[in-house]
Amino acid sequence: MDSRGKSASIPDWDWEPTDQESIDAIEAAFSLAESVSAKRRRPNHHPDRRSVGRRLPNWGNSPPPRAPAVGSPSSSIAKRINESTHFSDDAAAAAAALRSSCPRNRNLSFVPSSCQFNMKARYPLMNFGGRIVYSRTFSEVEKAAKELWEMVQVKKQNMEQISLGLDIEWRPTFRRGEAPKKAAVMQICASTDHCYVMHIFHSGIPPILQSLLEDSTSIKVGVCIANDASKIMKDYNVGIKKLEELSDLANVKLGGFPKKWGLASLVETLACKQLAKPGKIRLGNWETNVLSKEQLQYAATDAFASWHLYQVLRSFPDAAETQGVDEKVNGAQS
């Protein structure tokens, strides 16, 4: 929050291209359904002969689709978006952009499943577009942590909520019984401008970085963030405070049946983007002497995704609150 009590603005990146791609995907869905229906029709030359071809519904002439059942993921998400408009103008604008940019957030449940896959494949990739600050020596990591620390102090003075998207990477093991490798990379993102990728396998954790991680006035956000914190404690004897699990927050904000959200599924649901997870990079050697450009982009994007999703989710009202309002309204009308 800023000094005027206005919610922090949510970065609006790349909404317009997604709108056009969504429209194209919907048109392609109709075309595919019609073509498949035409191919499955068989000429019936004999009056007593029954057609054995399975006919798809006439998507073009069918009545408007019914809204998803109450409690379904798509209806719950759409409801959270609609009801978030009483928040700040920035949050409302972001919610409107989210609603208009993503087919699943417009309740398009009538699209065939095969077309849903095609639309998903058309989502643009999420990529961090700011400056990636890479550090690998003790002094470099110390300098990067100092920049982050100073940024946090400025936000404190401005009475802003401080959230840090945090993630770690380590080299995987492929032999049974082999001990897990040490955490090798820590990435922290706090804005659309900079993301810090620290090669702690080579540098260790300098005291100022430890102070930043242990500072409970800044919220460290991510998916399975508690597991990452436990690993850092085990590998470096450094605690991380305060933690916010994005999967739990999503269940609180979106409602519906609780599920275990992954980072990629949250990005797809809330931002209509794809989060690339190529095995060559994800399962690569994070202990290498110098990280590749691809590794840096992968690490930075993961931390940015966590930070950005937190901004989106915290702009929504809690599902329980809006459900209570609905019950009161329905009771008054009955």
- The β-bridge relationship of strands 163-170 and 131-135 is unpaired
Report the predicted TM-score, pTM, of the whole model to 2 decimal places. Answer: 0.65
* One domain, residues 302 and 222: yes
Residue 318 to residue 334: CA distance in whole angstroms: 25
124 phi and psi angles, rounded to 5 deg: -70, 155
* One domain, residues 74 and 189: no
* One domain, residues 151 and 220: yes
Determine, yes or no, domain membership for 274.
Answer: yes
* One domain, residues 75 and 92: yes
Is residue 121 over pLDDT 60?
no
pLDDT of residue 158: 87
* One domain, residues 77 and 174: no
Hey, is 219 helix, strand or coil?
strand
pLDDT of residue 122: 73
SS3 string of 141-197? HHHHHHHHHHHHHHHHHCCCCCEEEEEEEECCCCCCCCCCCCEEEEEEECCCCEEEE
* One domain, residues 193 and 151: yes
Average pLDDT of every residue of the chain: 76
Looking at residue 65, what DSSP letter applies?
Answer: P
What pLDDT digit, counting tens, does each position of 127-169 carry? 999 999 999 999 999 999 999 999 999 998 888 889 999 999 9
Number of structural domains in the chain: 2
Joined together, the tokens standing for residue 320 give 């329980």
* One domain, residues 205 and 223: yes
What pLDDT digit, counting tens, does each position of 160-203 carry? 889 999 999 999 998 998 999 999 999 999 999 999 999 999 99
Q: Which residue has the tokens 């699943």?
A: 104
Please report, for the domain that includes residue 313, its CATH number. 3.30.420.10
Q: Which residue has the tokens 């291209």?
A: 17
Which range of residues forms the domain containing residue 251?
131-318
* One domain, residues 117 and 136: no
Residue 156 to residue 105: CA distance in whole angstroms: 35
pLDDT of residue 125: 94
Per-residue confidence band for 34, with pLDDT thresholds at 50, 70 and 90: low
* One domain, residues 115 and 135: no
* One domain, residues 83 and 203: no
pLDDT of residue 83: 45
Determine, yes or no, domain membership for 222.
Answer: yes
Determine, yes or no, domain membership for 331.
Answer: no
Determine, yes or no, domain membership for 155.
Answer: yes
- The β-bridge relationship of strands 219-222 and 194-198 is unpaired
pLDDT of residue 320: 76
Determine, yes or no, domain membership for 330.
Answer: no
